Amino acid sequence: MPELLARGRTLCTPPLRAAVARLAAPMDTVAAYHFGWIDRDGTPAAGDGGKALRPALALLSAQAVGAPAEAGVPGGVSVELVHNFSLLHDDLMDGDETRRHRATAWTVFGPAQAILVGDALATLGTEVLLDAAVTGGASAADAARAVRLITTATRKLIDGQAMDVAFEQRDAVTVEECLEMEGGKTGALLAAASAIGAVLAGADDRTSDALQRYGHHLGLAFQAVDDLLGIWGATEVTGKPHWGDLRQRKKSLPVAAALAEGGAASRLLAEQLADPEGRGEESEPVLAARAALIEQAGGRSWTQDEARRQHKTALAALDEVPMADEVRERFVALAEFVVVRER
Ligand SMILES: CC(C)=CCC/C(C)=C/CC/C(C)=C/COP(=O)(O)OP(=O)(O)O
């Protein structure tokens, strides 16, 4: 599996760097820091720039329709740019001080630069697709379809994030509401990533739709695992702050499922989440006790099962697309990676 991710990173990093180099100073520096290419003092670094899951999916989707992986590169770069726009803004909104094992960009360069660089990366995500038509990497019609894919996904991602932020202020949400929110904030971009290479290579709508369904359900599985890691993950492995989701009273899937269960632990959890006292400032022991309540009310095991259900639905969508066995095996391997990952 790491080989598939490494290939996505190897093929997409040079054009990603070229896109970032278009930004005016100091935004180019802020972005290079965020991607792990430089340290805060500007010296070259080999930082953790993320798993590069979305580029790997984009390259595979080109291969799914018989094109070389290279045909998916502009798509891989585009989705990675939009993904990193969302991370820069998300860290600021959540007040998170660490990501990928280092200080978040907003804490190093200030909120204004983090906002601007996020905005700029989202815009570059469209530019690189239009470039693909200019350089002849894709036809103008296919580049336009890819632009539609990424802009629609970006809008849905923002919709999902807006729901997530609004849910923090609510005492409870249903599992269905949570799945809708996560389908937006995470599923939409993984759906686009899973089809964008194929679209750039001229795939028909039926193929694109099936690949997007694969990516959407993979995204829901991915987010279910992310929610689990946000509560029970090892912070030294995830590179993210401990208890961040619980401190912010995020209505993640384990929380929504625990609230729906209705037993004694579930009712205690509901009482705590409705109590305005200590909101955002709860101590580690209080948050550890809350994690235990969520587990007692079945939120952890329900979410683990849900990740597997979404994984299964993703694989079923893949069956609708005729493709070479070796490409299918790689899609299956990526899906397995998503549900067993620890970071
Ligand atoms: C508009 C806005 C602010 C939206 C925010 C949306 C958002 C942050 C959704 C969460 C998606 C997610 C699980 C990211 C981690 O991806 P990953 O584990 O693949 O990250 P990596 O690149 O570090 O590996």
**Residue 99 φ then ψ, to 5°:** -150, 140
Atom 4 of ligand 1, residue of closest alpha carbon: 86
Would you state the pLDDT for residue 47? 79
Give the CB-side neighbour count of residue 19, counting CA atoms within 13 A: 31
Say if residues 343 and 238 touch (Cβ distance below 8 Å): yes
pLDDT 10s digits, 269-308? 999 999 988 887 889 999 999 999 999 999 999 999 999 9
**Residue 292 CA: distances (Å) to CA of 137, 150, 257, 299:** 52, 39, 14, 10
Sign of the four-CA dihedral 157, 163, 167, 172 = negative
Atom 5 of ligand 1, residue of closest alpha carbon: 86
Q: Read off the pLDDT band of 1 (50, 70, 90).
A: low
Q: Which atom of ligand 1 is nearest to the CA of 158?
A: 1
Mean model confidence pLDDT for the chain: 95
Would you state the pLDDT for residue 281? 85
Instruction: Using the mean position of ligand 1's atoms as its centre, give its distance from the Cα of residue 299 in Å.
Output: 22
Would you state the pLDDT for residue 59? 97
Per-residue burial over 315-324, b if 16 or more Cβ lie within 10 Å, else e, is bebbeebebe
Q: Is 157 in the pocket of ligand 1 (CB under 6 A)?
A: yes
Q: Read off the pLDDT band of 38 (50, 70, 90).
A: very high
Instruction: Using the mean position of ligand 1's atoms as its centre, give its distance from the Cα of residue 208 in Å.
Output: 23
Which tokens belong to 328? 């299918």
pLDDT 10s digits, 90-126? 999 999 999 999 999 999 999 999 999 999 999 999 9
Instruction: Using the mean position of ligand 1's atoms as its centre, give its distance from the Cα of residue 85 in Å.
Output: 9
Would you state the pLDDT for residue 151? 98
Instruction: Using the mean position of ligand 1's atoms as its centre, give its distance from the Cα of residue 193 in Å.
Output: 13
H or E element, residue 265: helix 264-274
First-to-last C-alpha distance (Å) of the chain: 14
Sign of the four-CA dihedral 310, 312, 316, 322 = positive
Q: Is 84 in the pocket of ligand 1 (CB under 6 A)?
A: no
Q: Which residue has the tokens 């299918």?
A: 328
pLDDT 10s digits, 123-152? 999 999 999 999 988 999 999 999 999 999
Q: Which residues 6+ apart lie within 8 Å of 105 measured at CB?
A: 30, 33, 34, 88, 91, 113, 114, 117
Q: Which atom of ligand 1 is nearest to the CA of 54?
A: 19
Closest CA to 338 of 213, 216, 219: 219
Q: Which atom of ligand 1 is nearest to the CA of 89?
A: 3
Instruction: Using the mean position of ligand 1's atoms as its centre, give its distance from the Cα of residue 277 in Å.
Output: 30
Average pLDDT over residues 316-343: 95
Task: Label each residue of 291-337 as H, E or C.
Answer: HHHHHHCCHHHHHHHHHHHHHHHHHHHHCCCCCCHHHHHHHHHHHHH
Q: Read off the pLDDT band of 49 (50, 70, 90).
A: confident
Atom 10 of ligand 1, residue of closest alpha carbon: 186
pLDDT 10s digits, 193-237? 999 999 999 999 999 999 999 999 999 999 999 999 999 998 888
Atom 2 of ligand 1, residue of closest alpha carbon: 86
Which tokens belong to 140? 């103008």
Would you state the pLDDT for residue 219? 98
Atom 1 of ligand 1, residue of closest alpha carbon: 158
Rounded to 10 deg, the angle between the 299-318 and 253-261 helix axes is 120
User: Ligand 1, from 5, 35, 89, 90: best to mutate by most atoms within 8 Å of Cβ?
Assistant: 90
User: Ligand 1, from 185, 237, 339: best to mutate by most atoms within 8 Å of Cβ?
Assistant: 185
Q: Is 58 in the pocket of ligand 1 (CB under 6 A)?
A: no
